[in-house]
Structure formats: structure tokens, C-alpha cells
Chains A and B, each alone.
Chain A
């Protein structure tokens, strides 16, 4: 497994946060706090517990939506990749879904499903699912035919070919689809809280902006980005655990 050196990681963090701090001190805008102010606000919210209460709300649609998108997205993607008829039937749906301007569709969702959890889960799914489905189906369709032929010649059943050849061969692209889908799901969760009902982290962002408490607003944004990064790192660990060969290059390169 390749490791990026800790020094480089720290250095890049230092450069980004340093630039933020300098931009905040100039200041580029009165609505743009320095990095240290934002961190202070984050610490304050952590100490009085507001941030945990907020995440309790935000994570509900996020986790449910991402879980649905991952399970159904990979399932549908496999099916679409394996069956031409199913591809013909369902691929356009997800292509349209990916291209649709989601913010414009939110009022429609609210009319149909109200302002509760259901609408928010839908928003997360609409954001996360298409890229997972399209990546999975594309990867399945592009399984090297010589590997399938090899398995068939060594007496693999159709089930063996799917489980032992197609899924492992597609797994790097499936996981990159999951990463993109989950990032989009985070965007969807916050979008839902900004556009439907202000709850959780979306509420902190909306409220602190309305009272001009910009450090808190940026602290909330920072925390959601940090959470997304941690989540994606965990996903990468899972991938490396499940498919040890994935980060080792390819036999035919």
C-alpha cells in the first residue's frame, strides 16, 4: 500500500489554512472570518454541544440516503451492466437524474412528500445514486473479456463469473463511484437543510449567517467538509480491506 508522507499532508494543510488565515486578516470580505476565528467558533460549539445536536439531525437523512443509494445503486448498476434490456430501460433515468437541476426540483418533492425526513432522504439519493449506478454499470460492462473467457474455460458457472471475476474487476470503479456518490450525498444533505427546512448543520449555517456570526457559519461548513473527508478515508480503508489487489496495479499493464 502506498502512503503519502505525513510531512506532505501537514504541509498541504498548513498552506491551505495559512492562506485562509491571511485572506481572513486582509480581510477579503467582512463576511469572511480568519481560520483561527472559525476554529474558535467550532470549539465553542463543540463544548456547548450544539454541533452534536446538529449532526444528530443532519446525519439521519445523510446516512439513510447514502445507505439506500449504495445498496440499490450498486445492485441496479450490476443489473444494468449485465443485461442489455435493463440497460435500455433504466440507464436514461439515471442520466436524466444526474443532469437534473436538483434545487429546482425540491419544491416538487416537498409537495409530494412534505417537509420531513422523506424529502431530505430523496434529495440525498438523487444526488448520490446516479453516479454510483452509472459507474457500476460501466465497470461491469468493461470487464476484460479474456478474464471472463478464462473463468469459463476453467468451468466457472455464471454465478462464479459474476462473483469472482466481474465484481472484483469492477470494484475499483465501483468504489470510485461510491466516493463520488457519497460526496454528492453530503452536498445533498446540506442542500436539503437549506432548501426544505433548516435543521441540523444547515440550520447553524442559515441562522449564523442571518445574525452575521460568520465564524460559526464557516465553522459549520468546515466541519461538514472534515466529516466528508474522514468518511471517504474510511471508505478507502474498506476497499483496501475487501480487495487487497486494488491498490497494487494491474496484471496487464
Chain B
């Protein structure tokens, strides 16, 4: 019995229940079909990447989950509750950071709590904790334009963490960040997924980034937009952050995804 269980585990790990379910979602912008009948499950406590060439609707899907865009048909459920608009169970990290230029780091991080009506002293205490977590201690009084791109996105990340939503939606969060900062971010993401026990949905166009950080990679293809495959890396997820990039499975998955995407890249 033990033996069968273990060998079964080896072949297919147990996927946790879904935190977010997307069912038969379609979205049209005038004449452009952004998504057609798309269904996807996002396991609780794990990081799922939406990976695909530009124009495949991955950001559209993320914004539909966030409740910022309405789908033409289909349902999105977060913890079993249908999404009708933005909610306290989801927090968004923006590609262009979307920080308030007139507010310092402390107010920016606390902004989500400010909108929820949390008292000033309380929200600043929470914000300070997350500023520390993302490694920006000492910059509380700085303004966004005084920070580097990487630091600005850390502010964006801290703002999303501070509202303590169960689901974090990240829209190409590191695409406007330089290469070295991006690598550091990716390593930090692994620790964050481990420690925060939240569900992460991560949009990216970088194959290496998706494979490096994800528990599950959904490859999206355009014309018509659809999920072409869902890949769950098995062997390197529990490895040390520095050894992942040398893992044979990591390299195989990258090759496999590129083989299916290359026809769609102009």
C-alpha cells in the first residue's frame, strides 16, 4: 500500500483544490476576440503562470479575474464566490507599478488599506511590516521618483501584500525591471510563495521566468485564444533557488514551451 502510494506520488503529485476557477470565459473587444471559451483552474497556495506571446489575452484574463474587466460570457469564481467586480480577496500588482507620485513609499504601501478605511496608525504599522518584508526599510519617506525601477515594483508588491488578499494577481510585474533586479525578484518570489500561503497568478512573456517561479504553467496561444497546455514541473520545485536553472527538467520544459510558441512569434 505504502509502495503504491509513493510510486503514485512520484508520477502525479496531488494538486491542491482550486482557489480560482475560470469557466468558459469569452471576451471580445469590438472585432477582436481576446478570449474564447477559456477554462482554467488555479490551485490554492501555488503560483500559476499565464504564459504566451503578446496578444494572446493573458492580461485580459488577469483583469477579468481581478474584476476590472467584465467577460462577455462565462464565470470566474474565487473561493467558490462568483466575481462581480474588484474584491478584498484579490490584490493586483501592475506592470507599470501604478504608484502615486505625490505620495511617499509609506502612503503608497498603505494606500489599499487607506481605501478600506483602516485607521492611519494601524495601516502605517502594517505598511511598515511589508516594507520591511520586501527589503525597503529606510525608504519609507522616499517618493517613487527617487527609487529605481526594481524598488518601485517592490513598493507595488508591498501594497498588494499589505491588504492581505488570498489571491495575488501580478501583471508582468518584472518586465519594466532590469535583468539583475529581475533575477533577485524571481528568487524572492519563490520564498514569498512558500511563506505567504497565498495563491499567485502571474502573467509573463518570459519562458524562463515562468518555468523558474511556477508550480503550474498555463501556455496560452492566440488566434483563437485558448489554453494550449498546462505544465506542472515536478522535480525541481523543492530545490534550492540557485540550482533550479541547472535542472534537466527545467531546461526540457523551456525547450518544450518554446517549440510550441515559436510558430506564433512574428
Question: Known: A250-B145, A253-B145. Contact between A156 and B99, CB under 8 A?
Answer: no
Query: Judging by beta carbons under 8 Å apart, are A150 and B98 in contact?
Result: yes
Please give me the residue from chain B that is nearest to A168 by CB atom.
B102
Question: Known: A149-B68, A160-B115, A245-B102. Contact between A252 and B96, CB under 8 A?
Answer: yes
- Summarize B's interface: helix, strand, loop or mixed: loop
CA distance A184 to B79 in the complex (A): 59
Chain B residues with Cβ below 8 Å from A244 are: 102
Chain B min CB distance to A75 (Å): 21
Against B, the Cβ 8 Å flags (1 = close, 0 = not) of A143-159 are: 01011011111111000
Query: Judging by beta carbons under 8 Å apart, are A154 and B100 in contact?
Result: no
Please give me the residue from chain A that is nearest to B85 by CB atom.
A152
CA distance A165 to B100 in the complex (A): 8
The verdict on A3 contacting chain B, using a C-beta distance below 8 Å, is: no
The verdict on B53 contacting chain A, using a C-beta distance below 8 Å, is: no
Chain B residues with Cβ below 8 Å from A249 are: 101, 143, 145
Chain B residues with Cβ below 8 Å from A147 are: 98, 100
CA distance A42 to B145 in the complex (A): 46
Against B, the Cβ 8 Å flags (1 = close, 0 = not) of A231-247 are: 00000000000011110
Chain A residues with Cβ below 8 Å from B66 are: 153
Please give me the residue from chain A that is nearest to B146 by CB atom.
A248
Please give me the residue from chain A that is nearest to B99 by CB atom.
A251
The verdict on B191 contacting chain A, using a C-beta distance below 8 Å, is: no
Chain A min CB distance to B40 (Å): 20
Query: Judging by beta carbons under 8 Å apart, are A150 and B92 in contact?
Result: yes
Chain A min CB distance to B108 (Å): 9
Question: Known: A154-B111, A155-B115, A160-B115. Contact between A248 and B94, CB under 8 A?
Answer: no
Query: Judging by beta carbons under 8 Å apart, are A250 and B92 in contact?
Result: no
The verdict on B34 contacting chain A, using a C-beta distance below 8 Å, is: no
CA distance A156 to B152 in the complex (A): 21
The verdict on B86 contacting chain A, using a C-beta distance below 8 Å, is: yes
Query: Judging by beta carbons under 8 Å apart, are A155 and B97 in contact?
Result: no
Please give me the residue from chain A that is nearest to B88 by CB atom.
A155
CA distance A184 to B139 in the complex (A): 42
Query: Judging by beta carbons under 8 Å apart, are A245 and B98 in contact?
Result: no
CA distance A165 to B88 in the complex (A): 20
Most buried by B among A144, A153, A168, A253: A153
Question: Known: A146-B96, A149-B98. Contact between A251 and B145, CB under 8 A?
Answer: yes
CA distance A147 to B92 in the complex (A): 12
CA distance A154 to B98 in the complex (A): 12
Query: Judging by beta carbons under 8 Å apart, are A152 and B100 in contact?
Result: no
Query: Judging by beta carbons under 8 Å apart, are B116 and A251 in contact?
Result: no
CA distance A146 to B91 in the complex (A): 14
Against A, the Cβ 8 Å flags (1 = close, 0 = not) of B100-133 are: 1111100000011011100000000000000000
Query: Judging by beta carbons under 8 Å apart, are B101 and A151 in contact?
Result: no
Question: Known: A146-B96, A149-B68, A251-B145. Contact between A154 and B91, CB under 8 A?
Answer: yes
Query: Judging by beta carbons under 8 Å apart, are A146 and B94 in contact?
Result: yes
Please give me the residue from chain A that is nearest to B63 by CB atom.
A149
Chain A residues with Cβ below 8 Å from B248 are: none
CA distance A150 to B163 in the complex (A): 13
Instruction: Select B115's contact among A151, A246, A251, beta carbons within 8 Å.
Output: A151
Chain A residues with Cβ below 8 Å from B91 are: 153-154
Question: Known: A245-B103, A248-B143, A248-B145. Contact between A153 and B96, CB under 8 A?
Answer: no
Query: Judging by beta carbons under 8 Å apart, are B86 and A155 in contact?
Result: yes
Instruction: Select B100's contact among A149, A160, A251, A253, beta carbons within 8 Å.
Output: A251
- List 4 tightest A-B contacts by C-beta distance, closest first: A245-B102, A251-B144, A150-B98, A249-B145
- Listed in ascending order, the chain B residues whose CB lies under 8 Å from chain A are 66-68, 86-88, 90-92, 94, 96-104, 111-112, 114-116, 143-146, 152, 159, 163
Q: Can you list 10 A-B contacts with CB-CB less than 8 angstroms, sorted by A residue number? A: A153-B92, A154-B112, A154-B116, A155-B116, A169-B102, A248-B101, A249-B145, A251-B101, A251-B143, A253-B145
In the complex, besides A154-B163, A245-B101, 20 extra interface pairs with C-beta distance below 8 angstroms are: A144-B98, A147-B98, A147-B100, A153-B90, A153-B92, A154-B92, A154-B111, A155-B87, A155-B115, A165-B100, A168-B100, A245-B103, A245-B104, A246-B102, A248-B101, A248-B102, A249-B101, A251-B100, A251-B144, A251-B145
